[in-house]
Structure 1
């Protein structure tokens, strides 16, 4: 005996077979044209356009309200007179009806003169109805941003400006360092070149290849240079630093040549001391053989000497 589940499965299979058969029959009937159109079939019908003028006028009359101009503040007018065209004797374009919407300049000028005409017509009406058109002296406008918010923005802008200034200063310092290093390298190379030239000139003089001593005069400018001899002459006297110190602190007198012997100092023997001259005095201390001073023995040696005694 088949169970309940098997019977249910058999029933579903039989339904599927019946449905497949019914679908096939429906397809055959549709092919023969025996089926009628259903509710989901699209039918092309002409769209009916209704121009209900009376209804539209009725709606417009319902919307319209008989209000005074002060409540409406609407203006409909033509643009102001083109003074330049009138002076030049030209006919304005809008009077001819040939205002091009593609010409931006012409279109914006048309709007500009229309706004002028509106202002000229609206100001007298506003003054007539006692409506103020100027801002009062004690008028205070409410800001869209709070003062705290604006202070934050100001601080942020100041901080950005300071960061930019610091970066600019750092950039300038880097450029100055690069330039200073470049100048230093050029000076060193120039000195090495001058030294090399001087050494080659000295070798030539030593070998007898030349008898000129121009390189000793400091003529570094080459032939025809007039600065070399002048610099050599200036080097004979004191330099600017020495002159400034003498002017500020005074000239201390002659320092060199004080210990030179003269005839009188040579014949004067009153200050001669034999003990000092032959190291017999007390300053030098006790000296042993050969004129050498006796050194104190070390600590370990002194301990041994004490132990022996």
Structure 2
């Protein structure tokens, strides 16, 4: 066969394949449009054969504990099969009913179905691996508890610090109010306007300003002013009444000429550097101690 003949033969085959495909597509389109007669389906309902098969595979002669089959008492009826929530709820109710019924039948048969308390199942992971996992879980739990405790302590410290600041501010305000009142009373005492200060004993000579106000034990007046208290009197006797302090112990002409406090006997005593009669030594000297030994 020459090349021209082969080319013509291949083209004819391609045209035949294309015609077959087009014919098949046309037939399928006509069948889909119900323009061509459809092949009829035949259904066979062989009840005797089905009943024989059911009897053959039936296990009604066995006890229930060997079959473990449960049939629901009520069929599942839903308003709409498209409603997934309602359909799943019916399945759940049917499964719950079957579980309760199966538990009652198992107990009636006397077969144990609950796992005993001392049951040890074979584990895929080793005990060492599970111990590490348990330790890790405990560490994570401890870390969470420590973080919560630290957070709680921080909150308590903040709250305590706030309370402390409020208390300190309150004390400062009280101290300032007392000092202002004391300053007012001091000013009235110095000006002679007693006013409400007649019922208080006030330390007006205190330099630190921390004066205390005490109720007067009695109206003791001297020249129109209250007499100082016992504490103030002791301080006055010990330290004086104020005034000039510098140069009070310097000698003057009168103090230098005053020889009334001079004692010859006292100044000749060895304790003052004079040459007097010494007391005999009660302890022997070193040489006598050495000779004695």
Tell me which interval the TM-score lies in, with the shorter structure as reference length. 0.3 to 0.5
Query: Normalising by structure 1, what TM-score?
Result: 0.40
TM-score normalised by structure 2 residue count = 0.42
